[in-house]
Amino acid sequence: MTTTATPVTPVEHRLAAENITAGYDQRTVLRELDLHIPEGSFTVIIGPNACGKSTLLRSLARLIRPASGQVLLDGAAITTLPTKQLARTVGLLPQTSVAPEGITVADLVSRGRHPHQSLLKRWGREDEAAVREALEVTGTTELATRAVDELSGGQRQRTWIAMALAQQTPILLLDEPTTYLDIAHQIEVLELCTQLQREGRTLVAVLHDLNQALRYATHVVAMRDGEIIAQGAPETTGTAGLVEDVFGVAARVIQDPETGRPLVIPKASPK
Amino acid sequence: MSVPTTAALFRPGTRPVRVRGFSGWLNTRAVLVTLGLLIAAAVVAWWNMVSGSASITAAETLDALLGQADEGTTRVVRQWRAPRVVFTLLGGAALALAGAVFQSQTRNPLGSPDIIGFSTGAYTGALLVAAAGATGMWATPVGAILGGLGTGTLVYLLAWKRGVSGLRIILVGIGVSIFLGSFNTYLVTMLDLEAAMAVATWGAGSVNDITWAHVLPLLAITVICLPVMLGHAQDMRLMEMGDDAAAGLGIRLERVRLVQFTAGILLVAVVTAAAGPIAFIALVAPQLALRLTAAPSVQLLPAAAMGAVLLTISDAVARASAMPVNLPVGVITLILGGAYLVWLLISLGQKKGTSS
């Protein structure tokens, strides 16, 4: 006897938000939200300003404790995990960080090894190897001895990414990694993200630019007013209807001649 | 043990060390700076031991310390000078440690406990105890510690708004400090004349009347706080990169902050209880140590050594300037530190001007 129903293979995931309600002080930003991050994906969260996309990312990173619901890592609530253990699995590139004055690139990157270190094991061979690799992947090896405050914006951002990579986490969260960068450096950072994803990492990023999200993401999560309106592959989420729904912008969607991905073009205002 | 040469490039002035189970960095420059400062502190401390209104030679001082001098000399050296010298060494280090911690946590060179009101608060506690008429070796230290912790809690709570920002702590602290300063003046007027006189010299920050009974609580608190602070030093340095970055590296921010703040306040309070508010050591020492070690983040041990040097030198100057009447050491640190503060504010202003 054979069953006709096709077995539903659930998308594999390690990091998930289940029924979370979160916000700041009295203001609730996210309301009973569910999100499962597909394993091995480059998930990009998009949405208009103040839609809760950063709050969602910050909840996943345990920077915010949800008022209710929980964030799960491999089925365990992240609030129950030791902070260092969590930091060995989930890395974070925060929106703003401060490089201590005069710190060198290599020194900053080596700080990413903190979750792997203990009182007696403060700088082992594996730490050195991880830092070297992180510098290499991000193309910052030549900058290793330079002071971070002397670098250009793009170089600096690559250094911070290198620090997060030195952490050697299978999951990496990036909060607006392209903000304040010019277009060349934005592309550089996003291509680095794609490369990392292809090498087997899971990435979750908040991006402002809808077309960049559609171009680089493997999984798009569209948010509005603290809720997820749609999610899925860029080809299925990048539609005119969705742009109208999420951003309130009338747009045409064409195929990007470079990538074949959807390309959103806002309509000219009728005048 | 092996030392890969290229790794030294990672952190200038440091080298990786691996011995059996241990691996880490040896910051050669910081070690040398610390040793140099400790030697300087020891030299000045020895000069303070052998100079004073009673003329006692170095040889006699040594004899007295070893218990081989006559009763009078022994008393001067062991009961009068030695506690004062030990206090300036330890107290300077304690203030500098507290300063280093607060500057690191507020990410601002202005975030030192004397600027943000913790010394003033400790002084308030000590005054309240005196006004209540409590006596005994631990009465003033306990009063000062409670005053310091109370002020710390108050500043922290008033500055709290979705977490604490360094600048808000400093601004709230300055406000609280001004308020407590006038409250302290009021408390002094409430005391009877004799107590008020005693409190007045103390209020300038003086080590003239330090005895072993003052040194003991300071030693006890330092022995407890120093290892705890060092244990959290790395976490603290990582927190200088911002709360989010540090949290992403698995640091428990609130715990580290609570531990470091408490340890810092205890150190300031116990020094203030004995000597009154000694200004600016906490502000200046960590920054000077930072310049000397050329490190990107606050270094606790070099800062402590620098604090010991600064306070012993200030004491030497105070004693030399007005012998035989001793000037309060707080007056000297106030002059030195005031000049530094002006320079700091100007350079901070310039940096703001050019970077934005």
**Model pLDDT for residues A195-213, shown as the tens digit of each residue:** 999 999 999 999 999 999 9
d(CA A207, CA B95): 46
As a CATH number, domain B29-106+116-346 is 1.10.3470.10
Per-residue tokens: A24 = 């700041």
Q: Smallest Cβ distance to A123: which of B25, B107, B251?
A: B25
| Residue in B18, B29, B244, B256 to test binding to A, most A beta-carbons within 10 Å | B244
Q: Across the strands, what pairs with B18?
A: B23
Q: Residue A124 is nearest to which of B23, B231, B296, comparing CB atoms?
A: B23
Q: Between B303 and B107, where is the model more confident?
A: B303
Between chains, do A94 and B237 touch, taking CB under 8 Å as contact?
no
Q: Which residues of chain B does A164 touch, with a Cβ-Cβ cutoff of 8 Å?
A: 248
Phi-psi region of A201 (alpha: psi -120 to 50; beta: other; left: phi over 0): beta
Rounded Cα–Cα distance for residues A245 and A263 (Å): 16
Query: Of 3.40.640.10, 3.30.420.480, 3.40.50.300, 2.30.30.100, which CATH number belongs to A11-89+169-232?
Result: 3.40.50.300
Instruction: Please report the pLDDT score of residue B6 as a whole number.
Output: 52
pLDDT at residue B22 in the model: 77
What contacts B137, CB < 8 A, 6 or more positions away?
A: B213, B216, B217
CA distance A44 to A246: 15
Rounded to 5°, angle at Cα B111 from B108 and B117: 165
- Amino acid found at A109: V
**Domain-by-domain residue ranges, chain B?**
29-106+116-346
- Chain A interface includes B23 (CB < 8 A): yes
Residue B12 Cα, gap to closest chain A Cα (Å): 8
Q: Which residue of A has its CA nearest to B239?
A: A98
Q: Tokens representing B238? A: 């990582």
Cα B141 to its chain centre, rounded Å, is: 15
User: What distance in Å separates the CA atoms of residue B69 and residue B79, rounded to the nearest whole number?
Assistant: 13
CB contact under 8 A, B23 and A104: no
Mutate to test the interface with A, among B10, B11, B354 (most CBs of A within 10 A): B10
Q: How far apart are CA B157 and CA A88, in angstroms?
A: 33
Q: Find, in chain B, the residue whose alpha carbon is nearest to that of A26.
A: B162
Torsional sign, CA B180, B273, B290, A114:
negative
d(CA A80, CA A91): 17
A252 touches chain B (CB under 8 A): no
Domain residue ranges in chain A: 11-89+169-232, 100-168
Write out pLDDT tens, residues B208-243.
889 998 999 999 999 999 999 999 999 999 999 999
B36/chain A closest Cα distance in angstroms: 23
Amino acid at B2: S
Residues A85, B252: C-beta atoms closer than 8 Å? no
Quote ipTM for the complex. 0.89
State whether residue B24 sits within 8 Å of chain A by CB: yes
Half-sphere exposure of A79 (CA within 13 A, CB side): 10
Name the residue among A83, A103, A108 with its Cβ closest to that of B250: A83
Does A180 lie at the interface with B, CB-CB under 8 angstroms? no
| Number of C-beta neighbours around residue A267 at 10 A | 11
Considering chain A, what is the average pLDDT of its residues? 91
**Among B233, B308, B310, which residue's Cα sits nearest to residue B264?**
B233
Note if the bond before B328 is cis, omega within 30 degrees: no
Confidence band for B137, pLDDT divided at 50, 70 and 90: low
Kind plus residue range of the DSSP H or E element containing A68 = strand A68-73
B10, pLDDT greater than 80: no
Q: Torsion angle of alpha carbons A10, A12, A14, A17, nearest 10°?
A: -40
Nearest to A66 by CA among A19, A21, A32: A21
Confidence of residue B11 (pLDDT cuts 50, 70, 90): low
Q: CA nearest A150 in B: which residue? A: B355
Tracing tokens 């009154």 back to the chain, one arrives at B276
Nearest CA in chain A to B254: A63
For B186, the token pair is: 């009021």
pTM: 0.89
B276 vs A67: CA distance, rounded Å: 46
Torsion angles phi and psi, residue A19, rounded to 5: 55, 40
Cβ-based contacts of A103 with chain B (< 8 Å):
296-297
Distance between CA A171 and CA A232 in Å, rounded?
19
Confidence tier at A9 by pLDDT (50, 70, 90): low
> How many other CB atoms sit within 10 Å of the CB of residue B144?
32
Nearest residue to B145 via CA among B274, B266, B271, B279:
B266
Residues of B within 8 A of A172 (CB-CB) are none
CA-to-CA distance for B105 and B112, rounded, in angstroms?
10
Q: Report whether B140 contacts B273 (CB < 8 A).
A: yes
pLDDT tens digit string along A96-139?
A: 888 988 899 999 999 999 999 988 888 888 898 999 999 999 99
Nearest to A114 among B4, B162, B250 (CB): B250
Are the C-beta atoms of A106 and A145 separated by less than 8 Å?
A: yes
On whether any CB of chain B is under 8 Å from the CB of A94, the answer is: yes
Distance CA B88, CA B271 (A): 9
